[in-house]
Amino acid sequence: MKIIYPAEQAVSIWIGTFPTENDFDRSVDTHVTKRLNLKTPIESICEISFEAENVGLRELFEGFSGWETFIEEASNAARKKGIERANAALVCYYLKCEDAPAAWGQLHFLGSFAGEDVK
């Protein structure tokens, strides 16, 4: 896997379904933060969303900074993986992952897409 940071106009996205927000946070720490091993704290380049119940992809992604710039590509990638609903999402800005595994613990890596954190 090749990790490019900072990567201009790039977002990398993981989604999943978790019973609690703590389970989601632990999965991010264990499977994403450790695997990426960035020198920059992940909290400074990422946003998360957690819902109590599974929601549609559009609802899950709305509200992320610049969500309009990546919603279509990310939703299409999720559907190709058979994912229509989830309750947790992690969006990392200025991060591009090439040849990344699809599964990161219970998180599904949708991919790296053209996008930005426009506010």
Find residue 84's DSSP bridge partners: none
Report the 10 Å Cβ neighbour count for 26: 14
Cα dist from 37 to 33, 65, 70, 81, 100, whole Å: 6, 23, 24, 26, 14
Cα dist from 82 to 28, 57, 86, whole Å: 21, 12, 11
Residue 84 has which token pair? 């229509």
For residue 118, name the pLDDT band (cuts at 50, 70, 90).
low
| DSSP label at residue 31 | I
Whole-model pTM: value is 0.96
Ranges of each domain in the chain: 2-114
Reported as a single tens digit per residue, the pLDDT across 75-110 is 999 999 999 999 999 999 999 999 999 999 999 999
| Per-position b or e across 30-51, b if 16+ CB within 10 A of its CB | ebbbeebeeeeebeebbbbbbe
Task: Using the predicted structure, report yes or no on whether residue 112 has a pLDDT greater than 70.
Answer: yes
Instruction: List strand residue ranges (DSSP E) for 6-106, in order.
Output: 10-16, 46-56, 85-93, 96-98, 103-104
Reported as a single tens digit per residue, the pLDDT across 30-44 is 999 999 999 999 999
For residue 119, name the pLDDT band (cuts at 50, 70, 90).
low
Backbone angles phi, psi at 25, to 5 degrees: -60, -45
